[in-house]
Structure 1
Amino acid sequence: MGLSPLQTELEALPWAMQSMLVHNKRRMNFQTDCADLVKMVSRPKEWPAFENLLAEVEKYKRQFQAFSLTHIPRTKNTKADKLAWNSRDQPYDVYYINSVPPVSLPEPL
């Protein structure tokens, strides 16, 4: 049995968080078009089936000076949406690494 789309979103978040921490990015705003992922991270106790993955997210969250996860509409996330849909038709894994550095939160004054 494969992963659900929601579980796939949740599996990707700790990977992204760890990747930013490795590059010493300690102030991050992660964005997702998955509203349930934002709910899961903000209220993990309401999602007991994902307890282990959410504990991993919490572990990484504590390592950031500033962390946020915000929902963006799918219409504003067209590149990721297109990649996701196109990858479903491929008989092999699809990887995409964005060459644009992530936008960090502004430094406090």
Structure 2
Amino acid sequence: MGVKTKNEATLISILWAVDCMNAHHMNQVNFAVEASEMVGAVNRPKAWPSFSFQSNEILHSLEKMNALKFTQEPHNANRGATLIAQSSSNHPRLQSYVATGGPLWLEELFENERSAALVVQS
């Protein structure tokens, strides 16, 4: 059958991310996704009636944990996640980066992202 639309792929990805965080007992998570329509559907479901199915599925999944935020983030704001996704597609791993604490080859990039985020928050 397969995934037919980008919105369907986005929904599956969000549900998978929530499920993974829950499986790792990470119950206080800020979720940041690119899809502004999904963020709108979760944060203001009545304003996004055409996304009610997606909204209900995500909200039901989030009930299992104490998600702190569900926000929109542009693609270029999370270069580390993009590089990990490309890496895992090109070079399958036997163990998840989440389980091992992240790839060492991205340590400097993540430190730069943390520093930039702290400057923005100040």
Q: TM over 0.5: same fold? A: yes
More relative contact order in 1 or in 2 (CA 8 Å, sep 6+)?
1
Counterpart in 1 of 2:24? 23
Match of 2:97 among 93, 96, 99: 99
After TM superposition, the score normalised by the length of structure 1 is: 0.62
20-29 or 64-73, larger mean C-alpha shift: 64-73
The SS at the match of 1:66 is coil
Structure-2 change in CA distance of 1:35 and 1:51 (3 Å): closer
In the alignment of these two chains, the number of paired residues is 94
Structure-2 change in CA distance of 1:50 and 1:73 (3 Å): closer
What percentage of residue pairs aligned between the two structures are identical?
Answer: 24
Structure-2 change in CA distance of 1:35 and 1:14 (3 Å): same
Counterpart in 1 of 2:41? 40
Output the CA distance in 1 between the equivalents of 2:67 and 2:83.
30
Counterpart in 1 of 2:70? 69
Counterpart in 2 of 1:60? 61
Structure-2 change in CA distance of 1:22 and 1:80 (3 Å): closer
Output the CA distance in 1 between the equivalents of 2:80 and 2:5.
21
| RMSD of aligned residue pairs (Cα, Å) | 3.2
Output the CA distance in 1 between the equivalents of 2:82 and 2:25.
28
The SS at the match of 1:27 is coil
Contact preservation (8 Å) 2:30, 2:68: yes
String of CA shifts for 1:41-79, please: whole Å, max 9, x gaps: 112234444433322211122222233112112221345
